Each structure stands twice: as C-alpha cells, then as structure tokens.
A and B are shown apart, each in its own frame.
Chain A
Amino acid sequence: MSVALDAALGVAAVGGMLAVGSLALAFADEAAAAAVAGAPLRPRRLLVAPFRRAASALLTATTTTERPDGGGRALAPALLAGLAALAMSMLPLAPGVVPADPSTGFVVFSAAVAFVMIAVFLHGWSPNSTLPLHGAYRFGAVALSFQIPFLLAMLATALPAQSLSLVRIVEAQAPLWNVIREPLGLPIYLIVGLAVGLWGPLNLPDADDLAGGTSAEDSGLARWLWEAARTSMLVAVAALGSAAFLGGYLGPLLPGPVWVALKTALLLAVMAVARHALARARIERFVEVAWVLLVPLALLNVFVSGAFLL
C-alpha cells in the first residue's frame, strides 16, 4: 500500500520537476541565444513563449507518411520521456528524501541512457522517410561512442561511495564534492550529456544538415512531444549530474531541494550556452574523439581519483 502511495507521490514529483526543469532550460536557451545574437531580451514574451508553443501544437494536426511504422512512431517520444522520468525518479532531493532509491540506482541510470539509442532510432526509422532514416543511423554512431565515456565518468563517483546507490553517492560527497575530487569527470559527463539529450553541438540525429533529421516528418503535437521528451532527458542528465558531481542537496544555509534546483539550473545554463557558443561536431570527428580522447581520459579519471582513495 505504501509503495503505491510512494509511487503516486513519485510520479507527481518527477512530473513537476521535469516540467519546471524544461521551462528553465527554455528560458536559459532563449537568454543565451539573445546574448549571442546581440538581440534584446524580452522577459515577458520569453515567459509565455513555451506555453504559446504548446498551445499551437495542440491545435495543429499530426501528419503521417506513406506506410509508417505507426506503433514505433507513437512509442519513440513516449519511451524517451519514460527514460527521462526513470532517471529523474532517482534524484536525491534532501537527506532521506528521494522518490526512489534502488541499491543499484547507478545501473538503472546507465540502462536508461543506453535505451535512449532505441528511442531515437525508432523515432528516425518509423516514418519511412529518407532524412529521418539518416538521422536514426547517425545516432547509432553517436550513441555507441558516448556510452562508455558517459558511464566511466559516472562510475568514478561510485568509488568513494562504495555503492551504486545515488543517495550514497551524494552522501559520500559530504567531505569533498566529486567535481573537485575527480576534476575530469564533470566535463566529460557534460560533453557526453549533450549527445544523450540531443542538444546543441552534439545534436547530430536532428541536425540542420538533415533538415531536422529524425523529427523532419513530425508535426503538431507529435513534434511537440518529441521536443518535450528531448528536453526532459536533458533535464534529467543535468539533475543527476548535479547529484553525482556537485554534491546534490549538500550545501550551507539553504534547504536541500533549493541546492538541487540551483545546481541543476547551473548545469542547464552551461548546456544552453554550449548550444549557441559551440559548433556542431562532424559525426566522424565526434566518434574518433570519443574513443581516442574521452575514453582514455575517463579511465584516467577513474584510476587517478581511485588512487587518492587508497
């Protein structure tokens, strides 16, 4: 009975956090875009823009293509949103406050990140259209390359915690945050997090050189749901990144959840700036750098930070 209640609370909390996080990302993105473009920032317009966009998506019909995989098209955004929610449900909010704390939380998060590949591939493959199909296979190369550095960067945070539970990982940072203990971890995590969230310089599957890639055939609410699922994934990556590297709810004076929100917002702001300040990588360049540079650096990070624990 109490599990059912906890689950209901968890659903509400995660839904709320993803929504608020997505709005924060939208604002940060607009602000960064205006700063880079040298255009004036119009705060009132900016605040209502996401709601206006959602309303117009609601009023626009959803198109289909010739002989699409209907089930796959419907499932792709749902799966991506589900994975974001799964990751977010393990975010520690304050000492003893977390929607779900499986003892293998880190493994569950890795699995969610691995499944992003299925969601994006399905999204590109299902419309039976050329440009989305290229986006889908392109993401295959991206996902197979980001997986290992992403997991290794996260893994180093499990060493001091001696546990795979995300709550323990936060608790173990009480003496020293992981961002200082293992300085390479957060940069690698953030770089690769951009690819997990299909964002900015690593938004290869939905890139402009594919005229929108996997979402080129999406319209109306279907398009909006995909965008919402993508941003949710990015929010989840930022939130868990703040827990794993920036000490989560740890911090002086302010209550835990406020620290979580501030740290997540900081990482979202970094990602928003990255989108407008960094050019998109060529697919081949990213694959090579991920394997030849990021994997060894992530391993170095694991072993050097491990050596300090002995």
Chain B
Amino acid sequence: MVDLGPLAIASAVMVAALLAVLGSWLRAARRPSSRTAPERVPFTGGQPPSVHAWSRYHVRYYPMALLFLAFDMEMVFMYPWAVVFVGEGLVAMVEMGMFIGILLLGVLYAWRERAFRWT
C-alpha cells in the first residue's frame, strides 16, 4: 500500500501557491486599466494589427516533437529500471542499453534528415 500522505501534502502546497497567485492576479484584474478600445490594441510598435494573432500556427519543429514522443515513452520505462538497476545488475544494463541504442539510431536518422532544423 502506497502512503498517500506525502503526495497529499505536496499537492496541497502546489494548490496553495496556485491559489495565492491566482487570487492576487484576479484581484489586480478587477481594477481594469484598459477601458477604451485603443488601450486594448496588442502592441507591435504603435500600429494596430490587421488580424487577430490566434491562428493555425505553423509549428515547424513537428518532426522533433515526434521524436520526443518516442523518447518520452522510453523515460516511462527508465523510472522503474533505475530503481531495480543495482539489484538486476548487468542484465538491466545490457537490456536498457540495447533499447536506448535503437532509439539513439532514431536520433541519428532524424539528425541526418535535418529534423532539428527548420529555418
């Protein structure tokens, strides 16, 4: 049985900080400063924008984001692996080494295909 007490305390600390900042933000925002339309114009140097900034942004690093997904899954395996590493010894090392080795080939391939460059 996992003792949830420490997690509860950590979460409580997080929520307390979150609420404290959120509360002050909202209190400050109750005194609105931008009452007229020109006061609300987003700033890019003094000219009004012609369109809203929200758009279907071209995220050019998406091949890297895909590579990240692969490595993020690997991290999930590595947490328990780190705990049992000393106990399992060389077997754990070799097995994880093979797994990581294959993933690293993916990085090399992505590098060759210029996945880390988009400009």
A residues lining the B interface (CB < 8 Å)? 3, 6-7, 10-11, 14-15, 18, 61-67, 70, 73-75, 77-79, 81-86, 88-90, 99-108, 110, 125, 127-133, 137, 140-141, 144-145, 147-148, 151-152, 155, 158-160, 162-164, 211, 216-217, 219-222, 225, 228-229, 284, 287-288, 291-292, 295-296, 299, 303, 306-307, 309-310
B residues lining the A interface (CB < 8 Å)? 2-3, 5-22, 24-26, 28-29, 31-34, 37, 39-44, 49, 52-54, 57, 59, 61, 64-65, 67-68, 71-72, 75, 78-79, 82-87, 89-90, 93, 97, 100, 104, 107, 110-111, 116-119
Known: A86-B10, A158-B83. A216 touches B43 (CB 8 A): yes
- Taken together as a complex, chains A and B put the C-alpha atoms of A90 and B12 apart, in Å, by 12
Contact call B21/A7, Cβ cutoff below 8 A? no
A99 / chain B contacts, CB cutoff of 8 Å = 9-10, 13
Contact call A127/B42, Cβ cutoff below 8 A? yes
A105 / chain B contacts, CB cutoff of 8 Å = 6
A7 / chain B contacts, CB cutoff of 8 Å = 8-9, 12-13
Contact of B49 among A64, A85, A130 (CB under 8 A): A130
- Taken together as a complex, chains A and B put the C-alpha atoms of A152 and B75 apart, in Å, by 8
- Taken together as a complex, chains A and B put the C-alpha atoms of A141 and B117 apart, in Å, by 11
Taking CB as reference atom, which chain B residue is nearest A130? B53
Contact call B65/A144, Cβ cutoff below 8 A? yes
Known: A3-B9, A102-B6, A108-B10. A61 touches B52 (CB 8 A): no
A140 / chain B contacts, CB cutoff of 8 Å = 59, 61, 65
Number of A-B contacts (CB under 8 A): 236
14 A–B contacts from the bound complex (CB under 8 Å): A3-B5, A7-B8, A81-B17, A81-B20, A89-B10, A102-B7, A130-B49, A130-B53, A147-B72, A158-B82, A222-B29, A291-B67, A291-B107, A299-B100
Contact of B42 among A103, A128, A310 (CB under 8 A): A128
Interface pairs A-B: 9 shortest CB-CB:
A61-B33, A82-B18, A129-B42, A85-B17, A86-B14, A221-B28, A78-B22, A7-B12, A89-B13
Contact call B68/A133, Cβ cutoff below 8 A? no
B111 / chain A contacts, CB cutoff of 8 Å = 288, 291-292
Taking CB as reference atom, which chain A residue is nearest B101? A299
- Taken together as a complex, chains A and B put the C-alpha atoms of A71 and B77 apart, in Å, by 36
B116 / chain A contacts, CB cutoff of 8 Å = 284, 287-288, 291-292
Contact call A155/B53, Cβ cutoff below 8 A? no
- The secondary-structure label for the interface of chain A is helix
- Taken together as a complex, chains A and B put the C-alpha atoms of A64 and B31 apart, in Å, by 11
- Taken together as a complex, chains A and B put the C-alpha atoms of A110 and B3 apart, in Å, by 20
Contact call B33/A287, Cβ cutoff below 8 A? no
A163 / chain B contacts, CB cutoff of 8 Å = 83
- Taken together as a complex, chains A and B put the C-alpha atoms of A65 and B7 apart, in Å, by 38
Contact call B93/A303, Cβ cutoff below 8 A? yes
Taking CB as reference atom, which chain B residue is nearest A286? B116
- Shortest C-beta distance, B55 to chain A (Å), equals 8
- Shortest C-beta distance, B99 to chain A (Å), equals 11
